[in-house]
């Protein structure tokens, strides 16, 4: 085999690119091209490919994602790295599913990354996860929340760290139930028209069906829509008790600003919100109850220390995507340190075995072996009426599930989730 | 009641059309003088929003909305002098590329100056909320917007049709050589029209900031709609832009009333139908540079 490779490598018909690839494969048998510099670099640093949208309707979240993961890398490196090696995280803009897949392939094939992390769009995450599975390399999906992604489209090499749609619905739902805002109530739903929105609507419908709420109107909105006024008039026509929002990214900001502008009287609940989108709405525009995976006021020493460190470094409060990227890289560092490996198979096996991770919350988190979701606490939060600063505008509710319940009660069950690994 | 809701969508659509008009009109004006398809129009719109927010910190919302178009419009002088001027007679592809590059530079510049995170903006409390006329519901702020658009349209129409300035500009658009032969230097007029176009974009940004998300890429979003409007109306046509903007607004509203999911697609369908019947748009004239 080795001999054959030498022959091919010397042949004039082979392109430089494939020669390099063969060269990398043939290293164990002795180097034939001038590779030592590359070899040394690989031994020094562990490269990680990080994809996240920095433009488009989710683009405003990407900056936080990059800052969070880079801060984690710096902290890990300052403490001596992983197995004595430095981490090198290359962050790139994934824009859309096509670009995400192309860049993922390039990162694995040419840039020599050990594994992939990132993404916020569920559609792009699906594309990346297919590339990762084909290459048998680990992909830690940090921001996407679609249940379908984690159910029907799950695979051995993908792990998901943010809370899924079902959990967001359950987190808000628990607080709605407490306020008697579900049973017998009429809901007008407005939903983002792509995989994530459809999925969130499905989770919301399942929740209302179980608890006696009715969806009386149900409108899909394309992701590039920035003016919601015709939809607002439709909501008025439906005369609901509650408006239920299944929107994503900057759609949320545009919607709540225009909802306040038209002054409709119905209370709103949202099943998806990122704090950057809430802050962007400005004072006096956001209302209602929303779910969150984490918020900077979470009263926990580790979490508060993270917020302080982030503020010192970037001069601003971290958003939930900064937090998720930060704790996720720390989880991967723990996994590599424990397995003494960067090999995807070894890391997958480790994560599947139920290792516990400190994610700056009261309870530790772990990956469920049969669907690879990070099982953790979630929170409802509501809008303070008298806030004077956008950063101060949300009030975090108590963690769900309660301390005496299993963390899994808010997650999709085996019956609800078609994934089996 | 069903009829009321449909009429409400039509009226709201007309107001929405006014909202697109502000951006599309500037785009069309800039096109008509030098044959420049200004892809950086959206960047000026975004800049207008950001500058108005900075000014509003000291002078309030009205101060921002009035001064921002003036300041950004003055940048238009530099834009015309150092960039656009070189491309009036060149292949349109070149000006497309240059202004596209400028759009990216502009967006990145905003990101460097103000950060990628969106800027929170709220409208003055007095303007928030609905106005009810019988069963009809209107947004108070958008009625104000509509009033501004009507005043501006009237002003521009007057400027182009009833003043010496307008006569030279119109003559310059039709027969630049003749104007030059008469001993009139067209250049300052070109500059003034570009300043006007850029200023309109900035005014749009300042006025829309309270009802839409303010972030560096906001220009790219509005530009798509503005282009559809200009293409439907016919490149360079004043009345074409007005009719097309109102049509797009109404068609969107009515489509969303019946088939919400098709709301975004409806304006492209409208463009398709119009271009099938009139390849140069509703009021478009033959433009040699592009044919």
Q: Which domains are assigned to chain A?
A: 5-163+299-375 (3.40.50.2300), 166-292+378-410 (3.40.50.2300)
Q: At how many degrees (to 10) do helices A195-211 and A165-178 cross?
A: 40
Strand ranges inside B140-264, DSSP E: none
CB atoms near residue B258 (< 10 Å): 11
pLDDT over 80 (residue B285)? no
Lowest mean pLDDT among A19-28, A97-106, A385-394, B13-22: A19-28
B137 in contact with A, Cβ within 8 Å: yes
CA distance B270 to chain A (A): 17
Please give the residue range of the domain that contains residue B257. Answer: 1-117+124-290
Q: Is the peptide bond prior to A401 cis by the omega test (within 30 degrees of 0)? A: yes
The answer to whether the beta carbons of residues A399 and A174 sit under 8 Å apart is no
Lowest mean pLDDT among A10-14, A368-372, B36-40, B88-92: A10-14
CA distance B118 to chain A (A): 5
Measured CA angle at B175 (ends B86, B288), to 5 deg: 70
A186 in contact with B, Cβ within 8 Å: no
**What tokens appear for A242 in the block?**
């509650």
CATH number at residue B75: 1.10.3470
Q: CB–CB of B121 and A282 under 8 A? A: yes
Q: Specify the number of domains making up chain B.
A: 1
**What tokens appear for A269 in the block?**
């609940």
Round to whole Å and give the CA distance between A185 and A181. Answer: 7
Q: CB–CB of B129 and A62 under 8 A? A: no
Round to whole Å and give the CA distance between A173 and A171. Answer: 5
pLDDT over 80 (residue A40)? no
pLDDT, mean over chain A: 88
Per-residue pLDDT band for B287 (boundaries 50, 70, 90) equals low
**CA-based radius of gyration for chain B:** 19
pLDDT, mean over chain B: 91
What is the ipTM, given to two decimal places?
A: 0.91
CA distance B121 to chain A (A): 5
Per-residue pLDDT of B152-161, as tens digits, reads: 999 999 999 9
**What tokens appear for B35 in the block?**
């044959």
Round to whole Å and give the CA distance between A107 and A117. Answer: 11
Average pLDDT over residues A143-154: 93
pLDDT over 70 (residue A71)? yes
Environment class of residue B83 by beta-carbon count within 10 Å: exposed (0-12), middle (13-18) or buried (19+)?
Answer: middle
Per-residue pLDDT of B125-164, as tens digits, reads: 889 999 988 888 889 999 999 999 999 999 999 999 999 9
Per-residue pLDDT band for A371 (boundaries 50, 70, 90) equals very high
Per-residue pLDDT of B5-27, as tens digits, reads: 888 899 999 988 988 999 999 99
The answer to whether the beta carbons of residues A154 and A340 sit under 8 Å apart is no
pTM of the predicted model, to two decimals? 0.85
Residues 230-269 of A with CB under 8 A from B: 230-231, 233-234, 236-237, 250, 253-254, 257-258, 260-264
């Amino acid at each position: 085999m080795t001999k054959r490779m030498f022959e091919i490598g010397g042949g004039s018909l082979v392109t430089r690119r494939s020669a390099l690839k063969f060269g990398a494969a043939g290293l164990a048998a002795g180097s034939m091209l001038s590779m030592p510099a590359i070899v040394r670099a690989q031994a020094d640093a562990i490269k990680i490919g990080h994809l996240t949208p920095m433009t488009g309707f989710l683009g405003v979240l990407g900056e936080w994602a990059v800052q969070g993961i880079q801060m984690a890398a710096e902290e890990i490196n300052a403490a001596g790295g992983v197995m004595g090696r430095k981490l090198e995280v290359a962050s790139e803009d994934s824009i859309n599913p096509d670009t995400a897949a192309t860049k993922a392939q390039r990162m694995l094939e040419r840039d020599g990354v050990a594994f992939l992390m990132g993404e916020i769009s569920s559609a792009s995450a699906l594309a990346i996860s297919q590339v990762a599975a084909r290459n048998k390399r680990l992909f830690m999906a940090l921001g996407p929340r679609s249940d379908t992604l984690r159910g029907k489209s799950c695979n051995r090499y993908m792990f998901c760290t943010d809370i899924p749609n079902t959990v967001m619905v359950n987190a808000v739902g628990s607080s709605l139930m407490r306020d008697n805002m579900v049973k017998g109530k009429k809901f007008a739903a407005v939903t983002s028209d792509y995989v994530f929105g459809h999925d969130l609507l499905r989770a919301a419908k399942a929740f209302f069906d179980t608890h006696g709420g009715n969806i009386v109107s149900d409108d899909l909105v394309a992701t590039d829509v920035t003016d919601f006024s015709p939809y607002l008039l439709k909501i008025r026509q439906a005369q609901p008790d509650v408006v239920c929002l299944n929107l994503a990214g900057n759609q949320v900001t545009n919607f709540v600003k225009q909802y306040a502008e038209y002054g409709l009287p119905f209370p709103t609940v949202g099943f998806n919100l990122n704090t950057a989108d809430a802050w962007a709405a400005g004072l006096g525009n956001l209302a209602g109850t929303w779910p969150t995976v984490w918020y900077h006021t979470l009263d926990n020493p580790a979490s508060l220390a993270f917020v302080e460190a982030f503020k010192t470094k970037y001069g601003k409060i971290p958003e939930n995507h900064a937090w998720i990227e930060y704790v996720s890289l720390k989880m991967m560092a723990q996994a590599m340190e424990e397995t003494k490996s960067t090999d995807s198979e070894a890391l997958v096996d480790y994560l599947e075995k139920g290792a516990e991770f400190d994610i700056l919350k009261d309870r530790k988190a772990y990956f469920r072996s049969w669907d690879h979701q990070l099982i953790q606490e979630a929170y409802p939060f509501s809008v303070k009426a008298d806030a004077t600063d956008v950063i101060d505008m949300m009030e975090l509710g108590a963690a769900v599930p309660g301390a005496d319940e299993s963390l899994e009660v808010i997650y999709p069950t085996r019956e609800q989730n078609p994934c089996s690994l | 009641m069903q009829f009321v809701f449909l009429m409400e969508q039509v009226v709201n659509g007309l107001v929405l059309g006014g909202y697109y008009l502000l951006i599309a009109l500037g785009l069309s004006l800039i096109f008509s003088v030098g044959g420049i398809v200004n892809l950086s129009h959206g960047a000026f719109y975004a800049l207008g929003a950001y500058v108005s927010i900075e000014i509003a910190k000291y002078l309030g919302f009205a101060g921002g909305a009035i001064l921002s178009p003036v300041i950004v419009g003055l940048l238009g002088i530099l834009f015309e002098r150092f960039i656009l001027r070189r491309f009036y007679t060149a292949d349109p592809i070149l000006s497309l590329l240059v202004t596209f590059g400028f759009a990216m530079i502009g967006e990145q510049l905003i990101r460097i100056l103000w950060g990628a995170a969106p800027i929170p903006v709220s409208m003055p409390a007095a303007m928030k909320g609905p106005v009810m006329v019988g069963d009809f519901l209107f947004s108070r702020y958008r009625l104000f917007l509509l009033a501004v658009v009507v005043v501006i349209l009237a002003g521009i129409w007057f400027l182009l049709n009833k003043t010496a300035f307008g006569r030279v500009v119109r003559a310059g658009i039709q027969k630049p050589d003749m104007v030059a032969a008469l001993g009139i230097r067209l250049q300052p007029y070109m500059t003034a029209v570009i300043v006007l176009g850029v200023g309109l974009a900035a005014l749009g940004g300042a006025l829309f900031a309270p009802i839409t998300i303010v972030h560096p890429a906001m220009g790219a979003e509005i530009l798509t709609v503005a282009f559809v409007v200009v293409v439907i109306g016919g490149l360079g046509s004043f009345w074409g832009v007005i009719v097309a903007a109102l049509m797009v607004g109404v068609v969107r509203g009515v489509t969303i009333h019946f088939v919400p999911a098709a709301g975004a697609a409806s304006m492209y369908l409208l463009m398709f139908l119009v271009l099938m019947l009139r390849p140069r748009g509703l009021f478009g004239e033959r433009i040699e540079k592009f044919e």
